[in-house]
Amino acid sequence: MKHFIAAAACSAVLAGPAFAEEIITIPFDGSFDDATFAVESAIVGQGLVIDYVSHVGDMLNRTGADVGSDKQLFAAADIFIFCSAKISREVMEADPMNIGFCPYGIFVTEDDDGVMVGYRSYPDGPMQKVQTLLSGIVEEAVGN
């Protein structure tokens, strides 16, 4: 059931209004496990509940041969999915179609270049409240 909810959430995000998305990343000075712990702690420290952790790296590594690829994209990659009742209400009161951006996600990856923490950008206007929230969580997690 959790996988269905995550898939539905991803579909809702992808079906949202088109805008110039940017992926914002910040290098993490430490291990993948330390980064995931730091992100989880920063999210929970904001009083938020993590709804789901998507282990995308495990899935990609497990299914590569099944789809005819031998390329390893990540040594590890997780996405933390969560929402903020307060901020979500604010942005959806401004425009109910902002529901297409919910839930929010912060990812941690490890590849040949090291460990990275990131999130996607949001459009100008009310959704900047979400971007500010994510930016603050990531900055706390990476120690900035």
Lowest mean pLDDT among 10-14, 57-61, 81-85: 10-14
Q: How confident is the model at residue 20 (pLDDT cuts 50, 70, 90)?
A: low
* Domain assignment present for 99: yes
Domain containing residue 55: CATH number: 3.30.310.70
Residue 97 to residue 52: CA distance in whole angstroms:
23
pLDDT of residue 54: 97
User: Which residues neighbour 98 within 8 Å (Cβ) at sequence distance 6 or greater?
Assistant: 91, 92, 126, 127
* Domain assignment present for 106: yes
The first and second tokens of residue 51, run together, are 């709804």
10 pLDDT exceeds 90? no
* Domain assignment present for 127: yes
Please spell the DSSP secondary structure of the chain, one letter per residue: -HHHHHHHHHHHHHTS------EEEEEESS-HHHHHHHHHHHHHHTT--EEEEE-HHHHHHHHTGGGT------SEEEEEEE--HHHHHHHHHH-GGGGGG-SEEEEEEEETTEEEEEEE---SSTTHHHHHHHHHHHHHHHT-
Residue 65 to residue 22: CA distance in whole angstroms:
30
The average confidence (pLDDT) of the chain is 89
80 pLDDT exceeds 60? yes
4 pLDDT exceeds 60? no
Q: What is the pLDDT of residues 60-72, one digit of tens each?
A: 999 998 999 999 9
* Domain assignment present for 111: yes
* Domain assignment present for 7: no
17 pLDDT exceeds 50? no
Q: How confident is the model at residue 21 (pLDDT cuts 50, 70, 90)?
A: confident
| Count of domains observed in the chain | 1
* Domain assignment present for 12: no
The first and second tokens of residue 26, run together, are 């910040």
Residue-level length of the chain = 144
* Domain assignment present for 17: no
Q: How confident is the model at residue 91 (pLDDT cuts 50, 70, 90)?
A: very high
* Domain assignment present for 59: yes
75 pLDDT exceeds 80? yes
27 pLDDT exceeds 90? yes
112 pLDDT exceeds 60? yes
Domain holding 118, by residue range, is 25-142
81, 51 in Cβ contact below 8 A?
Answer: yes
